[in-house]
Amino acid sequence: MKENNKVLLGMSGGTDSSVAALLLQDAGYKVTGITFRFFEKDGNTEYLDDARDLCCTLGIPHLIYDARKMFQEKIIHYFIQEYMAGRTPVPCTLCNNYLKWPLLQQIADEKGIYHLATGHYVNKQKIDGYWYITCGNDADKDQSFFLWGLPQSILERMCLPMGGLTKTRVREIAAARGFLKAAKRRDSLGVCFCPMDYRTFLKAHVPEGEIIPGNFYDEQGQKIGKHEGYPFYTIGQRRGLGIHLNKALFVKEIIPQENKVIISDNLHALEKNEMYLTHWNLINPDVVLGHEDVIVKIRYRKQANRCTVTLLDDQRLHIQLHEPLASIASGQAAAFYRGNTVLGGGIIE
């Protein structure tokens, strides 16, 4: 599609996308807001009214797109299945890479709108002919970790008005422009469809009898306590095990077929020097494969390991970690960085 000054903005009704609408309009874009109906807790649709009201105040069109069935199949079903398989799912990464941004692109194409925008705290940069996501300026809000899977066709059309701002500044802008509800709204916490403990969500959504209590074992195979069912535990988990020995204990391994959870008292026993990725995306493989200066992150915050990435004959990526890394769980995402630039990522096997 040819570039024009139209932009389709994903609007959740929250602070960031509301301020994004203001800033895009200030910058001279013809903004259309769109709110996806992904998941509505207890049928609450207040967010739709908030987004519609804001668009009305700004005098811009507002669209609503019902993606609940898609979200149920691609995200919620996957989320439950992953825990039931003893893995650790990454619903926000999948939603962004496979649902939210592709839907924005699809609907923008239908409407003849070139630019695609959200209130994500990230920037983008073109290097050697390739577009990359780079970290947002507000280190506490940076969301680059979730966006490694986007293709060039989306990256080149992205507008990211939050990238250079801090959340504090964004709230100030909302308040100064009279959008008090948006200014005061609390930050969303965790996964949108289960902001509470995911165990409560699983209990409510998995048919009775499918999650059954079992035993914790130590590394020598001795029973050391009872657990409530393997899907309620994740690799590296330390709290909430319900075993009271006078030392810290960690979940080392989950064996779904036997409903066993293996516990270790030694964090080093959870360390690994390598991992394998499937469903990966590398923006420019030439600047990742075989290089010594690639950083891999498997957590949103506070972790960054150097690694060497190799493509195997079976099309998986092999990640050789230069320093050992603890608590690598299958199903989690791994994102590659050089400095602030996201080079790609994948799903840990």
Going by the annotation, the residues of the binding site for ATP are 10-17, 36, 119
If binding is defined by CB under 6 A, does position 71 make contact with ligand ATP?
no
Out of 7, 16, 163, 342, the only residue in the binding site for ligand ATP (CB under 6 A) is 16
Q: Which residue is nearest to ligand ATP (CB)?
A: 14
DSSP readout, 93-135?
Answer: HHIIIIIIHHHHHHHHHHHT--EEE---SEEEEEETTEEEEEE
Distance CA 20, CA 33 (A): 10
Phi/psi at 270 (5° precision): -90, 0
Exactly one of 168, 188, 310, 320 binds ligand ATP (CB under 6 A); that residue is 188
Nearer to ligand ATP by Cβ, of 47 and 130: the residue is 47
Active site (annotated) includes residue 192: yes
Quick one: 64 or 321, whose CB is closer to ligand ATP? Answer: 64
Q: How far is the CB of 10 from ligand ATP (least distance, A)?
A: 3
**CA 263/CA 256 separation, integer angstroms:** 14
Q: Which is nearer to ligand ATP, 63 or 267 (CB)?
A: 63
Cα dist from 226 to 89, 223, 253, whole Å: 24, 8, 15
Active-site residue, from 95, 135, 159, 194 = 95
Separation between Cα atoms, residue 55 and residue 30, nearest integer Å? 12
**What CA–CA distance (Å, rounded) separates 345 from 150?**
10
For ligand ATP, which residue of 12, 234, 237, 281 counts as binding (CB under 6 A)? 12
Residue from the set 8, 24, 32, 38 that interacts with ligand ATP by CB under 6 A: 38
Nearest distance from C-beta of residue 146 to ligand ATP, angstroms: 8
Residues between 95 and 134 that touch ligand ATP (CB under 6 A) = 100, 118-120
Site membership for ligand ATP, residue 163 (CB under 6 A): no
State the Cα–Cα distance between residues 24 and 42, nearest whole angstrom. 33
Residue 17 in contact with ligand ATP, rule: CB under 6 A:
yes
**303 counts as binding ligand ATP under rule CB under 6 A:** no
Structure token pair of residue 260: 């066993």
121 token code pair: 């705290």
Q: Residue 277: name the closest of 322, 211, 233, 335 by CA.
A: 335
* Interface ranges with ligand ATP (CB under 6 A): 10-12, 14-17, 34-36, 38, 100, 118-120, 188, 192
Q: Which residues are catalytic?
A: 95, 192
